[in-house]
């Protein structure tokens, strides 16, 4: 049973003007995280990264979710296949690196090897084993989908279609040709905060004037609009101030805008549960959140650009990377302070302000998942 009160969760589900934030135990109790890992992260669609990491034969990404690990690998046609990261012999994890390229899928323990479709290809010293059928010992598959460049997996095998999960967010991603973009940089952060505290922080900019003065100089913290639509997501827009070409150091470098997008807008979306997508005029930033404990989250941040932009002479993503690396670290600091404050015996969840529509929308998605366990 979840150590959360149904009444408290129902208060979060109230309309914004009457709602109360999620209870503190949702952020601090290890039992809540254990439930989330099983029923949220392993119970539906989860983004493991961008399709650019799976362009060529043998390209792979690996993810760890609680005690589970999976990897996704591209076959000879560039199609992704996801598997549980455990050998069918004695259970050793096969893939150890977060990403890379492999010539074959081979267990590092006893050298059982598998095709990129998961079929068992070689199992040394099994020729004389009675009743051993290689066809019965392929890797355990995981349901996979690619939606507008996001690589999604469903370990439950029973979630609604991935297109329904992404819903009406898909056209926004398609406008930025997200599936065609290429990665220029990747940074991994270890943040001393619950994954939901990071998601909430991403979903509002009330903190921007005090925490992110450089960001607020590029876009007023109250600019933009909320965007709504079908699917498991929330988000909206921000408007660049006059003189700012993009969000980057000193107003950003002069790069071509991604075709057919508003050059004055930055869109930000949270795709439940672990994906933060920021759509800028000339690049896209992708965060994926990976809980490691109730008070610790690994955050993978990637910067994506158009191939033509990256191939141009003098291409340098440093203005965007440096700018957001600073903003990220400022965010991680206040998220850590929030996590520390929630540990207090006197902590009680507060009320939302009128500018926290997306924070409330995210919390409602969380609360509704919790309430499923009580019905």
Contacts for 261 with CB less than 8 Å, ≥ 6 apart: 175, 176, 279, 281
pLDDT computed for residue 261 by the predictor: 87
pLDDT band at 375, cuts 50/70/90? low
Residue 192 has pLDDT above 70, yes or no: yes
Q: What is the average per-residue pLDDT within 199-208?
A: 96
Confidence of residue 251 (pLDDT cuts 50, 70, 90): confident
- Supply the pTM of this predicted model: 0.95
When pLDDT is averaged across residues 78-103 and rounded to a whole number, the result is 97
Query: What is the pLDDT, as a whole number, of residue 232?
Result: 98
> What domains are there in the chain, each with its CATH number?
6-43+164-372 (3.90.380.10), 47-160 (2.102.10.10)
**Can you tell me the mean pLDDT for 162-166?**
98
> In percent, how much of the chain has pLDDT > 90?
93
**8 pLDDT more than 70:** yes
As a whole number, mean pLDDT of residues 39-54 equals 97
Whether the pLDDT of residue 84 is over 90: the answer is yes
Distance CA 311, CA 182 (A): 11
Q: 203 pLDDT band (50/70/90 cuts)?
A: very high
Model confidence over 328-368: pLDDT tens digits?
Answer: 999 999 999 999 999 999 999 999 999 999 999 999 999 99
The C-alpha atoms of residue 40 and residue 280 are separated, in whole angstroms, by 29
Confidence class for position 213, pLDDT limits 50, 70, 90: very high
């Amino acid at each position: 049973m979840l150590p959360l009160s149904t009444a408290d969760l129902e208060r979060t589900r109230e309309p914004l003007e009457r709602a109360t934030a999620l209870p503190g135990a949702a952020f601090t109790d290890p039992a809540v995280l254990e439930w989330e890992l099983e029923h949220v992260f392993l119970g539906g669609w989860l983004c493991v990264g961008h399709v650019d990491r799976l362009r060529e034969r043998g390209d792979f990404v690996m993810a760890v979710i609680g005690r589970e690990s999976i990897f996704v690998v591209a076959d000879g046609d560039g199609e992704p296949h996801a598997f549980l990261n455990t050998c069918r012999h004695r259970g050793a994890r096969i893939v150890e690196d977060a990403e890379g390229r492999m010539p074959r899928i081979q267990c590092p323990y006893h050298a059982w090897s598998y095709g990129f479709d998961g079929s068992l290809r070689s199992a040394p010293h099994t020729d004389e084993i009675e009743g051993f059928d290689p066809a019965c010992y392929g890797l355990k598959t995981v349901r996979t989908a690619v939606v507008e460049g996001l690589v999604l997996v469903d370990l439950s095998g029973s979630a609604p279609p991935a297109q329904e999960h992404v819903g009406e967010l898909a056209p926004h991603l398609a406008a930025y040709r997200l599936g065609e973009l290429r990665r220029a940089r990747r940074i991994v952060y270890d943040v001393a905060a619950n994954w939901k505290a990071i998601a909430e922080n991403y979903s509002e900019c009330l903190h921007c004037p005090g925490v992110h003065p450089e960001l607020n100089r590029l876009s007023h913290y109250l600019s933009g609009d909320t965007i709504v639509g079908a699917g498991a997501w929330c988000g909206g827009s921000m408007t660049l101030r006059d003189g700012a070409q993009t969000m980057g150091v000193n107003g950003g470098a002069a790069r071509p805008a991604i075709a057919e997008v508003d050059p004055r807008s930055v869109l930000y979306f949270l795709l439940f549960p672990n994906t933060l997508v920021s759509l800028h005029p000339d690049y896209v930033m992708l965060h994926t959140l990976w809980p490691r404990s109730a008070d610790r989250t690994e955050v993978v941040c990637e910067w994506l650009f158009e191939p033509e932009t990256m191939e141009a002479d003098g291409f340098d993503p440093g203005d965007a990377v440096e700018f957001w690396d600073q903003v990220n670290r400022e965010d991680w600091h206040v998220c850590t302070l929030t996590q520390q404050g929630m540990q207090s015996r006197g902590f009680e969840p507060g009320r939302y302000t009128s500018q926290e529509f997306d924070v409330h929308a995210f919390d409602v998605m969380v609360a509704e998942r919790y309430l499923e366990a009580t019905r």
